[in-house]
Structure 1
Amino acid sequence: MEKNLKRMATMQRMQSVGLEIFYKNGYYDTSVDDILKELSLSKGAFYYHFKSKEEFFISILQNIIFPKVYSELIAPFEGQENPAVILDKCFDNALETAEHNVLDNGFVLSKFMTEFSGKNETIVKLLKEMFKVWEVNLITNLQKGKTDGFIDRHVDSEAVASFLMSSYMGVRVLMINGNAKLLRYKYIQQLRSYFKTIAVKR
């Protein structure tokens, strides 16, 4: 039991540090040696836990990135009613976190999708699946909002989901070198104005 816990703790540390390095330098410009140097680990220790750099990266996607996306952008909808209100809070909270977290400003899914596109179909497939889960969740909740009388019934839920995802990822990228706090404020204000246009008129 103690041995398993120690192994899990080592893997979590490796994944956290690995994500930081991959995010900063890019996957293809990061070698296993770079990771080992940062972690002060031997090659034997690395390959005891992971068969390859690719397997290591996939474990980061599955154990760090996807749970983070799920907790910030999907879980907040569970058991809630008006999707516009939840989206407002959900996006605002995630962007506030990004203000104080350089690693998260560019939205890791978007960054890695750009890097791996056309180079590694296995990883691109996983990233697409993560985007799909987010998209389906948005569409489902927008449809529910229409049924429950919060969203106008003529609204195209798929189009709205695409708009929300692309605008959210866009502002995260802008926040890297811009005034993150101001960009977040302006984006949320515009988002609220947009939600008024798709809401049922009371």
Structure 2
Amino acid sequence: MEKSLKRMATLHRIQMKGLELFYSKGYDHTSLDDILKALDLSKGAFYYHFQSKEDLMISIAENVLFRKVYSMLIEPLEGQSDPFLAIERCLGDALETAENNELDFGCVLGNFRNQFVGRNAAITKRLDDIYKVWEVNLVSLLQKGKSDGYLPRHLDSEGIATFVMSSYFGVRSLMASGNGRMLRYQYMQQLHAYFRAMVASPVG
């Protein structure tokens, strides 16, 4: 049992340090030696858990990134009634967390996808799977909101989900080098106006 816990702890350390370095320096600019040096770890210990740097990145996407996105952007929406109110609260909290993170370089998931799309199909697929889980949950929440009478039935749930996701990733990128507090305020004001306009608009 003790050896198993130690292996799990080492696995987690490698994943977290890999995430930190891949995120701050970029995947291509981070070597395996960089990770081992930062952890004071042998190559043997690394290869016990992972076959390669790519295998580590896939593991980070499937485990660490998925948990991060789920806890911040999906779990807060579960069991909520009013979809627009729930999404506003969820994104507002996520942006406030990012605003107060001195090591934030923009959205982790968005940054990584930009690094790998068109260059590494295996890693891109894992990242896109996370997008898909978030999208499915957003659409399900919106559809339920229509059924429960919170939203007009004519609204395009898929289109709204696409807008929410893309706009969130966009403002996160802007916040990385701009006035985070102001950008968060402006974004949330416009998101609120966008939602309220749809609720108030008649069919057609």
Q: TM-score range by the shorter chain?
A: over 0.9
Contact (CA 8 Å) 2:15, 2:60: kept in 1 or not?
Answer: yes
Matched with 2:4 is 4
TM-score by length of 1: 0.95
1:63 and 1:136 mapped to 2: Cα distance? 19
**Which residues in structure 2 correspond to 1:67-106 (within 5 Å)?**
67-106=67-106
The AA in structure 2 aligned to 1:85 is L
Q: SS at 2:152's partner residue?
A: coil
Task: Give the 5 Å matches for 1:154-173.
Answer: 154-173=154-173
Identity of aligned residues (%): 58
Distance 2:119 2:105 in 1: 24
Query: What is the Cα deviation at residue 101 of structure 1?
Result: 2.0
Structure 1 moving runs of 4+ over 6 Å: none
Distance in 2 (CA, whole Å) between partners of 1:177 and 1:122 is 30
Q: Which 5+ residue runs of structure 2 have no aligned equivalent?
A: none
Is residue 112 from structure 1 mapped to residue 112 from structure 2 by the alignment?
yes
Question: Equivalent residue for 2:44?
Answer: 44
Whole-angstrom CA distance in 1 between matches of 2:126 and 2:43: 27
TM-score if structure 2 supplies the norm length?
A: 0.94
Query: Contact 1:20–1:103 at 8 Å: present in 2 too?
Result: no
Query: How many angstroms apart in 1 are the aligned matches of 2:118 and 2:195?
Result: 36
Secondary structure of 1:68 counterpart: helix
Mind listing any 5+ residue stretches in structure 1 that lack a counterpart?
Answer: none
Q: Which residue number corresponds to residue 130 of structure 1?
A: 130
- Find the residue that maps to 2:135 and give its secondary structure: helix
Alignment length (residue pairs): 201
Contact (CA 8 Å) 1:96, 1:184: kept in 2 or not?
Answer: yes
Aligned partner of 2:178 in structure 1 is 178
What amino acid does structure 1 have at the position aligned with 2:44?
G
- What residue number does 1:146 align with? 146
Change (3 A) 1:132 1:27: same
